[in-house]
Structure 1
Amino acid sequence: MLFDVWAPEAERVTLHAADRTEPMERDPSRPGWWSAQADADEGVRYGFALGDSPQVLPDPRSRRQPDGPDGLSAVVDHSAHTWQQEWPGRPLPGAVLYELHIGTYTHEGTFDAAAQHLAHLRDLGITHIELMPVCPFPGRHGWGYEGVSLWAVHEPYGGPEGLKRFVDAAHAHGLGVVLDVVHNHLGPSGNYLPLFGPYFTDTHHTPWGSAVNLDAPGSDEVRAYLRESALSWLRDYHLDGLRLDAVHALADTRALPFLEELSAAVDALSAELHRPLFLIAESDLGDPGTTTPREAGGLGLHAQWNDDFHHALHTALTGESQGYYEDFARAPLAAVAKTLTHAFFHDGTYSTFRARHHGRPVPRTTTPAHRFLGYAQTHDQIGNRATGDRLSATLSPGLLACAAALVLTGPFTPMLFMGEEWGATTPWQFFTDHTDPELAEAVRRGRRREFAAHGWAEEDIPDPQDPATRDRSCLDWAQPAQPPYDRLLAWHRALLALRRAQPDLSDPDLAAIRVAYDEEARWLVFRRGDLRTAVNLSKEPVEIPLGGGPGRVLAAWDPVEHPGRDGLLRLRPQSCVVLGP
């Protein structure tokens, strides 16, 4: 088979495959590339030595790292895998996503163990699973955002074959699979890319150090590295989409932005494979151009997370006002109302948290609402709290039900975080398993220092390196069948069944949504077509003026009698209802 590697500054490159060495030759048709032919079957370990160095390094495009990021690579032949499902794909419009971390979805922390709960997701009404990153990272347990081999799969999860089995099983249940990929930084542990070539540049700096090289000399090959990695996930693993982590940290000054180039390549692959594929961005820019089609001058990504909606909803539910919640806490229901109708809260307005104006307006008449993901909880918004506490740690079941009603009957593509559907009480904390003692201690100190600055005692901040931190973060699968969790689970199922059955809940028209609210009384109603969703976030019963005549109860957390018969809707404390005509 052909082994090749990009190492533009190397004087010599030697292939080490099994117990043999083979000098590699420059490829005259591809500047900076080296290649060699060698016999190697599936699973054979190999690596490259640069110049006179005795160190054998893993392949930057390794498809498998059986011994972790620091070990040798292994040959993988994707064409040898026999897929069990002929999968037509599931498009993004009409989707309901479920963010899932393989390492804590079950205590076993493997693809095969997670696959045992796919029927639960199907019956819940989920359409797509969004896997958190699965690239190799140090140790056994971690969030996955410190991966280094962007073409490989974390071995403790089950490696490449484990991921393929999981995707096949998900497709058998009618579930699409989306993967979270990280292009904005790699490592730091196990990151050998700088030894091979200019994968990073000091032209720009990010929170993780030198930026990934998207626009400096050598960036053509770096962009190809990222682009082809993304296409490999979609093609070789039959995935349905990718979530791109923190695209605002991709420093790129070229006339053709990398994200636009990637979206064009994904659309071309979709046409080739005859099934829908999509890209979802995490972006802090407040820029609708991220999801504006390329032919209209945008980047052409298919959707983006909407943190503005989350922040508005979170402050309305909890009353928190620290950090970036400050901008939303002055009038939280007004903020919820604005995001429901305009997607972004900051659309050119002043952000106190940033001490500057931020964002720009979403063109509501031309931007379908499904391009924005709406959610009450995510891995970021839970795990980056000091103790990893979910909303269920402080909110009543009624308020959790209100959050579900706003997310699942709202205009955006809904997303749930694993366990949210039953109000899981297990926290989801920040955990690592760094094998480098100095890096482990630096992460531990940094975490304590960060939250100590916000008034937390050091002893209250979980140690990321303590195995108990990960263990606490695993879901308790006994909970969904027990009170009071079973009631909240049934509520989520009812709302998602309603979303499937009612065409008004699939209407992508942001401009058609109507919202009324009372900030002091803490109620909000929004209308989508003939359907109305009303929530009472207060501890007191409320009477809500109900325009449009009496309504028929389609779903209610607490009993609602004769809604709107006398022009009023009466809701019990911390309860909600969905009304039809």
Structure 2
Amino acid sequence: MNTPSQYDCPVLTNQILATDLDGTLIPLSDNPQNTADLPQLAAQLQSHHVTLIFITGRHFASAQSAIKQHQLPQPDWLICDVGTSIFHRQPDGALQTVDAYADHLGEIVAKMPIDELKQHLSTIDGLRLQESEKQGPFKLSYYADAAQLDPLVEQIRKQLSQTAAPYSIIHSVDPFNGDGLIDLLPSGVSKAHALAWWVEQNDLHQDAIVFAGDSGNDLAALTAGYRAIVVGNADRAVAQQAYAAHRAAGWENRLYLATHPATSGVREGCRWFGLVDREEALPQKLGATPIGDQSTHFRVWAPDRSRVEVEVDNGQTTITHALQLDETGYFTGIVPEAAANARYQYRLDGGSVRPDPASRYQPEGVHGPSQIINPRAFPWTDQNWPGVDKRDLVIYELHIGAFTQAGDFQAATAQLPELSALGVTAVEVMPVAQTPGQWNWGYDGVNLFAVRNTYGAPDDFKHFIDACHAAGMAVILDVVYNHVGPEGNYLTEFGPYASTKHHTPWGDAFNYDEPGSGPVRQFVIDNALFWLQEYHLDGLRLDAAHFIKDDSRPAIVDELRRDVSRFAETVNRTIHLIAETNVFDQESLNDQVDRLAFDGVWCDCLMHAIYAHALPDLRIAHREYLAGDLAEALQHGFVYFGRDEKRIEASQRQDLSRNAQGKSYIESFIIGLQTHDSVGNHPQGQRIHQLTSKAFQKAAAALTLLYPGIPIIFMGEEFAIDAPFPFFVDFEDATLKQAVDSGRAREFPQHVWGDFLLPSQSDTFYQAKHDVPDRRDEEMFAWYRDLIALRKQGLADGWLSADRMTAGYDPQADIFFLRFRQDSATEIIVQTRLTGPSKSPGEAVTIPTEGTVLLSSAELPQTDDKNITLHPNQVVISKN
């Protein structure tokens, strides 16, 4: 590899790569791609006349050996001995010490040369001098037992302090042999210090340098203001610290987090910063995709337009670039002056300017410009996250805006320890796609790839997800593919995104089945995969799946299931695809030709049956539920069936269970005591304990949390908070505001709406904030925590399953029950009495128990050895 041309006298160029060796430029021993990439990287660095600096903790001889052993390109400069020596390559290829740097270090340690320091430290037992070749005129190195490393370092620090020695200490454990390593260096000197001195001596600007590293020893250089590459094998803490430092300093586009390890990651970063050739293949993603630190590829589908230009505001000037139209209606192009975080818009046929249909961020809302987002900028730490199996899901549904007083991703992240303590294993986030106005439930999204600007930036949502994974919780996102919101929806100005034959009550239906609709279908599928891939989500919930209208075959929902399933096979975490069907739709859970089953469906029958039992006059669903439905719902999991939401008789439910070969389908039902719909559809957004009592909530919660479906808890339920959750929405269009306010009143005419807060009023949103400490019932929290813990124990022991359950109602004792067969002699029995405010509470009843009471929602008066008293709105769980 060492060709004669490499020994010409080095000339400093304006493109400089400074790289660590071990773990960075040197190929990893078990990575053949690294080995293959090294000669290609070396050749391209040479052809692009890139000045090459090696910066290593190795001593000079070791660095030379590594260059020869791994056939590294010859560096123009070599910084070694942990930054205490600098060498410059001469025309004959030899590396010569830079005397000026030695003089610089000599000035630092003038009052105590290295030999004098050695004498001071000779009194410390346990220090062993390293080999002579590892010492230097400005570096003193010792071995130590790893177990004694920290105490010895502390002794050295005291000695340095007592003698005012101008030295600093670094220490580590050798990962190969376990030896403790201690280096004494001139005060403030490091690899980063040496590089900074070299930059200053050569009168260079920081932007001329690209530094690549992998470890904590490289962190100072990675955060010194140079353009920086963190290779993919770096400890995630290093990536996070580098990211945080760049963000705090306000540096944009100076940090590249490589996906590939070591050599391949260096090559990847060099491509990004333009030091070597970039990949020839252009991204096929919709929207703005950065392909380098200063250039972006744009792609938009606009078959109804003859000309599309992208206008990029880079903070100082606006650049207009014409995109090229292909035969399929896509406009594409690369803009060299467009860097990540710049804002842009599309000008259509020389007229109106519009945000990108696939915008990743709308910092000024739905009518403003889009922002270029670098999808690789976030330092994920969840590489080993396995996800959560379906059987282990305990879902907590939340709305980012109402979950905390601040109403953003950062504040939500701070609340995660509390959810973890509750026993939650998955967080389901109501839609975060960009909607108009200042507040919204989320179902009026018009920029489906962009997180809502009031919640934070894309990286803030990623941080929330990463933190959830670190806490052992999956994250499921609610997505809306049945319609697009009414304000800020500019899709139809680009192409035939909207259906001309299907309609929804909420906005334009997507065009999934008319001629030329293929790109619309791909748009939606790309969106689903985008959330899963770029945001590391663990699943999606398809809102109102029965309203995703498509007469073609395979239908868009089937294609979506297929592609999500294919994606799931490529990752090492469990992916869940959930449909909101509201009732039991058996087809959604069955694998068929050209379609795959959903992992779960929202089935609200049990929840509404509980409401109907307690509050027979309340109507919060379009389906009718009767007071007597609860027993059937407990036994079979549903009351209504199929896409047409047909109410079926008990005998038909029995037949369906037999045809399904048991009741295992129940384990795919998402079942809650409350959801955003059940609370929000009440005129005042009241919660179940406000409509009944806290005792009723406790008793009813046992039926849902210990049911063999997948439990879901709506935010605040665990504390029985009094904050309402009414429907709220904001539009900038006054006509839309008025239409929604009046339409909401018509939606549930059976209620007396009176002077209730209207959806568009600010108080409607701000009263929904749920994290108010004095509204919290800690006793309710403890009850939910205990129920969830018992549920997990039941899953571990095997008794909490649909096939081991019998359920029903004892009219004589007025008790609803769930019985789980643990083995031939043991049962777990949930017995509850539910009495709503419209009913007489009745008398306490005596129930037999010959086993152990596991949980009770109220104090248990014992009548004798074999009987206990069960009061109205009380539940007892026992093991008999």
- Is the contact between residue 134 and residue 144 of structure 1 (CA under 8 Å) also seen in structure 2? yes
CA positional deviation for 1:393: 1.1
Residue type of the partner of 1:465?
S
Report matched runs for 1:1-150 at 5 Å: 1-18=296-313, 19-28=318-327, 31-39=328-336, 40-53=338-351, 55-86=352-383, 87-150=385-448
**Residue in structure 2 matched with residue 258 of structure 1 by the alignment:** 556
Aligned-pair distance for 1:299? Answer: 4.2
Distance 1:498 1:352, change over 3 A: closer
Cα distance, 1:239 vs structure 2:
0.8
Aligned counterpart in structure 1 of residue 842 of structure 2, from 526, 540, 553: 540
**Contact 1:264-1:300 at 8 Å conserved across structures:** no
User: What is aligned with 2:234?
Assistant: none
Change (3 A) 1:369 1:167: same
State the SS of the aligned residue for 1:272: coil
CA distance in 2, matches of 1:325, 1:12: 47
- In structure 2, give the amino acid aligned to 1:440: K
Separation in 2, partners of 1:379, 1:65: 26
Structure 2 match to 1:205: 503
Aligned mates of 1:383, 1:221 — CA distance in 2: 35
* Letter in structure 2 aligned against 1:7: A
Summarize the Cα distance change of 1:550–1:520 in structure 2 as closer, same or farther, 3 Å threshold.
closer
Equivalent positions of 1:392-431 (< 5 A) are 392-431=689-728
2:634 equivalent in structure 1: 340
Cα pair distance change 1:183/1:341, threshold 3 Å: same
- Does the 8 A contact of 1:536 with 1:542 survive in 2? no
Cα separation, 2, equivalents of 1:366 and 1:531: 18
Distance 1:58-1:241 versus aligned 2 partners, 3 A rule:
same
Which residue pairs with 2:467 in the alignment?
A: 169
User: Does the 8 A contact of 1:550 with 1:564 survive in 2?
Assistant: no
1:215 and 2:513 aligned = yes
CA distance in 2, matches of 1:204, 1:427: 34
Residues 325 and 319 of structure 1: is their aligned pair in 2 closer, same or farther, counting only changes over 3 Å? farther
**Structure 1 segments unaligned to the other structure (5+ residues):** none
Distance 2:517 2:632 in 1: 40
Change (3 A) 1:227 1:325: closer
- 8 Å CA contact 2:492, 2:498 repeated in 1: yes
* 1:147-546 → structure 2 map (5 Å cutoff): 147-284=445-582, 286-294=584-592, 299-320=596-617, 322=619, 324=621, 327-331=624-628, 335-347=629-641, 361=656, 363=660, 365=662, 367-451=664-748, 453-459=749-755, 461-479=756-774, 485-503=777-795, 509-519=801-811, 522-529=814-821, 530-538=827-835, 539-543=841-845
Alpha carbons of structure 1 residues 299 and 564: separation in structure 2 relative to 1, 3 Å: farther
AA aligned opposite 1:489: F
SS at match of 1:535: strand
**In the superposition, relative to structure 1, how do residues 324 and 553 fare at CA in structure 2: closer, same or farther (>3 Å)?**
same
Question: What is the CA distance between 1:337 and its match in structure 2?
Answer: 2.7
More displaced stretch, 56-65 vs 365-374: 365-374
**Cα distance change of structure 1 residues 347 and 506 upon mapping to structure 2, 3 Å threshold:** farther
Q: Higher RCO, 1 or 2 (CA under 8 Å, sep at least 6)? A: 1
- Separation in structure 1 between the aligned mates of residue 566 and residue 622 of structure 2, nearest angstrom: 40
* 1:375–1:388 Cα change, 3 Å: same
CA separation of 1:218/1:536 partners in 2, compared to 1, >3 Å: closer, same or farther? same
User: How far apart, in 2, do the equivalents of 1:520 and 1:388 lie?
Assistant: 35
Aligned to 1:555: 855
Distance (whole Å) between structure 1 residues aligned to residue 524 and residue 625 of structure 2: 36
Q: Which moved more, 1:17-26 or 1:201-210?
A: 201-210
**RMSD, aligned α-carbons:** 2.6
Over 3 Å counting, the alpha-carbon distance change for 1:364 and 1:69 in structure 2 is farther
Do 1:536 and 1:572's aligned partners in 2 also have CA atoms closer than 8 Å?
yes
Structure 2 unaligned regions, length at least 5: 1-295, 822-826, 836-840
Tell me, yes or no, if the aligned pair for 1:288 and 1:361 is still in contact at 8 Å.
no
Q: What is the alpha-carbon distance in structure 2 between the residues aligned to residue 564 and residue 291 of structure 1? A: 48
Q: Aligned in 2, Cα 1:564/1:230: closer, same or farther, shift over 3 Å?
A: farther
Residues 105 and 475, structure 1, Cα contact 8 Å, conserved in 2? yes
TM-score by length of 1: 0.91
* Partner SS, residue 449 of structure 2: coil
The count of aligned residue pairs is: 564
Output the amino acid matched with 1:290: S
Tell me the secondary structure at the aligned position of residue 309 of structure 1.
helix
Question: Could you tell me how far apart the structure 1 residues matched to 2:620 and 2:439 are?
Answer: 29
Q: TM-score, normalised by structure 2?
A: 0.61
Equivalent-residue separation in structure 2 for 1:569 and 1:330 (angstroms): 27
CA distance in 1, matches of 2:488, 2:645: 38
C-alpha contact 2:639 2:647 (8 A) present in aligned 1: no
After TM superposition, the structure 1 stretch with the greater mean CA deviation from structure 2, 337-346 or 421-430, is 337-346
- Structure possessing the higher radius of gyration over alpha carbons: 2
| Counterpart contact for 1:340–1:411, Cα < 8 Å | no
Distance 2:583 2:550 in 1: 14
1:573 Cα offset (Å): 2.3
Cα shift at 1:156: 0.9
Instruction: Using the TM superposition, give the Cα deviation of residue 143 of structure 1 relative to its aligned residue in structure 2, in angstroms.
Output: 0.7
* 1:132–1:209 distance in 2 versus 1, CA, 3 Å: closer
Aligned-residue offset at 1:382: 0.7
